[in-house]
Structures are given as structure tokens and as C-alpha cells.
Amino acid sequence: MNIISDTLVPARAPYSAVLKAGQIMRIIDLKSQQAVDALFYNATDTTERYSAQDTLAAQAAKGGRYDLTTGSALLSNEGRIMLKIIADTCGFHDTCAGACSCEANTVRFGHETRFMHSCRENFITELAKHGMSKRDLVSNVNFFMNVPIRPDGELTVDDGVSAPGGYVELRAEMDVLVLISNCPQVNNPCNGFTPTPIQIIISES
């Protein structure tokens, strides 16, 4: 196994990298209970990007689940497999709840949260480095985020259950631009109310 990069992403910070087809990205929740928001784009044509809708519709068609874990294939808006989850110590990752934003914080938690940092701002910062803008924000994955969906369809953000050092591994099936927001949210329990650093290792065999 050849390590391409090994990065400590500080609490609340964004990150991006290009994964070549066949390369593996390991995201490590160093301290536990840290939500890691992620977006994926075809690195050579960013109009093709991750689609939560296509991914979950394909899983549902196979009688599958509404969250992601080992064996899940992450599909693009063109129905092609972008990445596969090949290892997972957590057991589930949300792709329904979206990313936190100043606007959503204001609605959920009160106007005084309007100026708190959010995943949407991290994504817009990182998108700009790759020639994109907020028009290119689409549905995302929330690694390590615990979002149970009740039988009546109600969705809640519960305490994270990932343990210190827990990780998820994805193998790129095409060249993929990965954007990450190490979630800064402190108004709900998705980060245990204390955002912490994560580690991202990219490797190839």
C-alpha cells in the first residue's frame, strides 16, 4: 500500500483532493462523534456529481437501506458509480439530512446563530478553488452522522455513535474531486457539541 497523502483536517475546516480511479480514501474520526460532510464530482467533468437520490433509489430497488455502509455504491447524477464504500467501522452514514448552513441554523436554532460558521460556507470556499460556486452545491454525504428516520418519515439528528479512531474507506471508481467540510455545527448533537479534527489518508495499492 502506497500512501499518497496523509492530512490532519482541523476542527471546522474544509478540505479537498482529487482521487484517481482505484485510489482509496480513509476518513478517520479521531476523537469520536464528528460528522464529516462530503461532496463528490467527476474530476474531469464536474457537471457529473454525486446524487443522493440516484444512490438511494438504486439501494431501494435492491431492497436496501436509506443510509450508507460497506458495499454501498455512490452514484452520480448520470447513474454511474463514482465510489464504493469498502470498509466501515461505524455501520451507517447519512445522506438524507443535507449540510448545515447559516440559513438553516437561523430557522432551527434562532436568529442569533446567523453568523456561526457552517458546512455550506466550507463547501463554497472549497468549490471556489476548483472553479465552481454555490450553484454547484448538491446533496451530500454525512459520514459518521446518526440520522434515524422514524416509520412516519420524521428525520432526527441524534448523538453520534462513532468511536475514537473509527473510519470509513472509499475506493474511487473514476477520477473524483472530493470536497469535505469537517462540520462546525454546535447547535445539535451531530458533533457531540464539540467539533474535533479528522484525518484523511489517500493511498493506492
Comparing CB distances to Zn ion, the nearer of 16 and 185 is 185
Which helix (H) or strand (E) segment holds residue 126: the answer is helix 119-128
Q: Give min distance, CB of 61 to Zn ion, in A.
A: 30
Say how many Å lie between the first and final Cα of the chain, rounded: 4
Cβ proximity to Zn ion, 141 vs 172, nearer residue: 141
Shortest distance, CB of residue 83 to Zn ion, whole angstroms? 21
Instruction: Give least dist CB 140 to Zn ion, A.
Output: 9
Provide the 3-class DSSP secondary structure of residue 156.
coil
Distance between alpha carbon 39 and the CA centroid of its chain, in Å? 6
* For Zn ion, the closer CB: 172 or 180: 180
Interaction between residue 139 and Zn ion (CB under 5 A): no
Cα–Cα distance measured from residue 179 to residue 140, given in angstroms and rounded to the nearest whole number: 10
192's CB contacts (< 8 A; 6+ apart) are 32, 33, 34, 159, 160
Phi, psi (degrees; rounded to nearest 5) at 136: -95, 5
| Cβ atoms of 9 and 200 closer than 8 Å | yes
Which residue in the set 27, 39, 82, 100 belongs to the binding site for Zn ion (CB under 5 A)?
100
Q: Is 68 in the site for Zn ion (CB under 5 A)?
A: no
Residues 112-131 that bind Zn ion (CB under 5 A): 119
Q: Is 95 in the site for Zn ion (CB under 5 A)?
A: no
By the 8 A CB rule, do 119 and 181 touch? yes
CA 136, 139, 142, 147 dihedral sign is positive
Q: Minimum Å distance from CB 173 to Zn ion?
A: 26
Residues 168-197 that bind Zn ion (CB under 5 A): 183, 185
Least Å from the CB of residue 118 to Zn ion: 6
Instruction: Closer to Zn ion by CB, 68 or 119: give it.
Output: 119
* Residue ranges binding Zn ion (CB under 5 A): 100, 119, 183, 185
